[in-house]
Amino acid sequence: MRSAALSPRIIPFNFMSERFSQEIFSPREYLSRAGFSDQITGIASGAARVGGRKILKRYGLSPEELHTTLKPEAGMSPVTAADLESEEAIKRIIHTRLFPDHTINAEESGELKGKNNEGESNIVWYVDPLDGTISFTREQKYSSVGIAVYEKGQPKLATICRPFQRETLVAESGKGAWVFPLDDHLDIVGDGKRLSVSANESLKDGIIYIDGVFNHKTAAPTLKMLERLSNSVGNFGLRSIGTNIGQQAEVAEGRGDLTLTTAVGGFYDLAAGSLIIEEAGGRFCGLDGQPINSNTQVAIGGNKQIIEQVLPILQKSYEGYQGFK
């Protein structure tokens, strides 16, 4: 049974402008046919796609035009006008216009608390408005938007918008994960396809997506891990596309067997991809083999059988690892 606390109030269409309602609610028939009945799922998908439009609008501009700066608190990772505009647009939809009683935890602005009649909100939105900023500034087409909604600490729904791939992934807890096609305006334009992680029984001749951040903290344990993996399983392919959320989407769609994230900037890097991979029949966990949490510094997701095989190697390689910052 769907939780009453999660279900939003029914939003009357005359409460919003016609353009706003079309941007947020227009794909509801496609989501409904995939089995997603909660209005909040459509809103999350719409918000992520609005953020994706902000990314496309800024794509190809110079660092000066993007107003690119570095964040010392985040290992000198960059932030651009596209990051900020995407996040502001998403927050405006969720918190300002629809759910002021929900809490938002977003990458660039941190936590914006909401309150209900009983005090602190039970519902938290985790928002990564532009994952893969370095790739974006170099005019690579991999960046993603990730949104996950948690209720009382448990994942309820997630969505990933991949604006350059013209696709959006959606999952609800217990209802599976689906990918939907987008047009150039990032509107959903067709029925979805149910996702399933790879069915390979071994990483041999398979593919692992790995976080692309290498520095004095990440390099040594990662190289040890790759050497031990190759000695254990033999040949396997290695991919790095510069976005944690994007590579989690690739694995959820079965294009790779595992995704490894070692540069966790915040829970928003993991929350959306975790639920989508799990609803696609996979597993997503920390080094301890337990579900991810706000303290997770290394996360692995994908094929359950392969994770069981390689987890001891990861545990040995990243023993004592404290993160990339």
Q: Which pLDDT tens digit goes with each residue over 236-292?
A: 999 999 999 999 999 999 999 999 999 999 999 999 999 999 999 999 999 999 999
Q: Are residues 158 and 256 in the same domain?
A: no
Q: Are residues 159 and 296 in the same domain?
A: no
For residue 240, count CB atoms less than 10 angstroms from its CB and return exposed for 0-12, middle for 13-18, buried for 19 or more: middle
pLDDT of residue 7: 41
**In a domain? residue 293:** yes
Q: Are residues 229 and 276 in the same domain?
A: yes
Q: Are residues 29 and 142 in the same domain?
A: yes
Instruction: Indicate whether 76 pLDDT > 90.
Output: no
Element containing residue 258 per DSSP (H, E): strand 258-261
**In a domain? residue 323:** no
CATH number at residue 232: 3.40.190.80
Residue type, 155: P
Query: Where is the domain boundary, 194, 228, 256?
Result: 194
Rounded to 10 degrees, what is the CA torsion of 254, 260, 266, 269? Answer: -20
**In a domain? residue 284:** yes
Long-range contacts of 132-135 (CB under 8 A, 24+ apart): 132/241, 132/242, 132/243, 132/244, 132/245, 132/246, 133/77, 133/78, 133/79, 133/80, 133/82, 133/83, 134/77, 134/78, 134/242, 135/241, 135/242, 135/243
Query: Where is the domain boundary, 133, 160, 194?
Result: 194
Task: Show the CA angle centred on residue 265, arms to residues 43 and 88, nearest 5°.
Answer: 40
Rounded CA separation 293/169 (Å):
22
**In a domain? residue 6:** no
Q: Are residues 89 and 114 in the same domain?
A: yes
Q: Are residues 91 and 26 in the same domain?
A: yes
Average pLDDT over residues 308-325: 94
**In a domain? residue 89:** yes
Average pLDDT over residues 109-121: 76
pTM metric for this prediction? 0.90
1 vs 78: which has the higher pLDDT: 78
**In a domain? residue 184:** yes
**In a domain? residue 143:** yes
Residue type, 6: L
Q: Are residues 161 and 278 in the same domain?
A: no
* Boundaries of domain holding 243: 207-317
Element containing residue 305 per DSSP (H, E): helix 304-317
CB distance 58 to 82 below 8 Å: yes
What string of H, E and C letters represents the secondary structure of 61-113?
A: CCHHHHCCEEEHHHCCEEECHHHHHHHHHHHHHHHHHHCCCCEEEECCCEEEC
Average pLDDT over residues 191-200: 97
pLDDT of residue 122: 87
pLDDT of residue 69: 85
C-alpha 178: how far from its chain's center?
14
Least confident residue range of 9-13, 158-162, 298-302, 315-319: 9-13
Q: Are residues 154 and 266 in the same domain?
A: no
Instruction: Indicate whether 67 pLDDT > 60.
Output: yes
Task: Work out the widest C-alpha separation in the chain, in whole angstroms.
Answer: 62
Instruction: Indicate whether 168 pLDDT > 70.
Output: yes
Average pLDDT over residues 71-79: 68
Rounded CA separation 274/278 (Å):
6
CATH number at residue 135: 3.30.540.10
- Give the SS3 label for residue 311: helix
In the chain, the percentage of residues whose pLDDT exceeds 70 is: 88
* Local confidence band at 34 (pLDDT 50, 70, 90 cut-offs): very high
pLDDT of residue 24: 56
For residue 101, CA distances in Å to 2, 104, 154, 206, 245 come to 19, 10, 18, 45, 27
pLDDT of residue 78: 85
Q: Are residues 99 and 220 in the same domain?
A: no
* Local confidence band at 22 (pLDDT 50, 70, 90 cut-offs): low
CB distance 81 to 49 below 8 Å: no
pLDDT of residue 282: 98
- Picking from 91, 6, 87, the residue whose alpha carbon sits closest to that of residue 40 is 6
Average pLDDT over residues 106-115: 88
* Local confidence band at 96 (pLDDT 50, 70, 90 cut-offs): confident
Q: Are residues 232 and 92 in the same domain?
A: no
pLDDT of residue 9: 44
Query: Where is the domain boundary, 147, 162, 194?
Result: 194
**DSSP states of 274-302:** HHHHHHTT-EEEETTSSPP-TT-SSEEEE
Task: Give how many domains the chain has, as a whole number.
Answer: 2
Q: Are residues 176 and 290 in the same domain?
A: no
Least confident residue range of 114-128, 156-170, 172-186: 114-128
Q: Are residues 33 and 130 in the same domain?
A: yes
Average pLDDT over residues 25-49: 87
Which residues does residue 167 pair with via DSSP β-bridges, in sequence order?
A: 162, 181
pLDDT of residue 75: 54
**In a domain? residue 4:** no
Dihedral sign for Cα atoms in the order 264, 265, 269, 271: positive
